[in-house]
Amino acid sequence: MSKLISDKEKFEEAVNLVKRAFDHEKRLPEQIFNVPFQKTCVFDFDKAMSYSFWHELERLINLSNDPFILMAVLDPHPVDYFYKEFSRYNFFYPFKGCNS
């Protein structure tokens, strides 16, 4: 199960997580990470939003033993465009055991 964030407070918590991990002003191939990761993977947007990717994401969530993975889309702008149009932010949590 994945859940789009609609609550402003939860969105601000998610934005803080993103800002701690990434320099959202930089773009690849620049160094975008603020923290050292042992392993990273970058996907094209179309691949990351494909049906087959969700099965892989579920597998990674289960292997990581983390309670969630935060997926954040920074463009289109999460507030100025996405929230304004859909009353939700384009940040979401695919939870463990999700049936994507």
Sign of CA dihedral 35, 41, 47, 52: negative
Q: Look at phi and psi of residue 65 and say left if phi exceeds 0, alpha if psi is from -120 to 50, else beta.
A: left
Q: Please tell me whether the overall predicted TM-score, pTM, comes out greater than 0.75 for this model.
A: no
Q: Residues 25-69: pLDDT tens digits?
A: 888 888 888 988 777 777 787 887 788 887 887 887 788 877 777
- Of 14-18, 56-60, 85-89, the least confident: 56-60
Over 90: is that where the pLDDT of 87 sits? yes
